[in-house]
Amino acid sequence: MDPTMKAGLEDFYKVAIDAESIARAISFAIEQPADVGINEMIIRPTVQVG
């Protein structure tokens, strides 16, 4: 594997959102009552990189 690509992926996964957090967000959306429609969700990590 390209060392530059590997380093970039390692940095990316340091701030990636874990699967359980994504699952909780999706669960929240689908558990809403029938009179509530969630059309879009933006889910992003709260870790600041810089």
- Give the pLDDT confidence of 1-50 residue by residue, as tens digits: 788 888 888 777 777 888 999 999 999 999 999 999 999 999 988 866 55
pLDDT at 40 (0 to 100)? 95
pLDDT at 49 (0 to 100)? 58
pLDDT at 50 (0 to 100)? 55
Q: How far apart are CA 26 and CA 43, in angstroms?
A: 10
Q: How far apart are CA 7 and CA 15, in angstroms?
A: 13
Q: How far apart are CA 35 and CA 46, in angstroms?
A: 30
pTM greater than the 0.75 cutoff: no
CA distances from 39 to 3, 25, 28, 42 (A): 40, 13, 13, 10
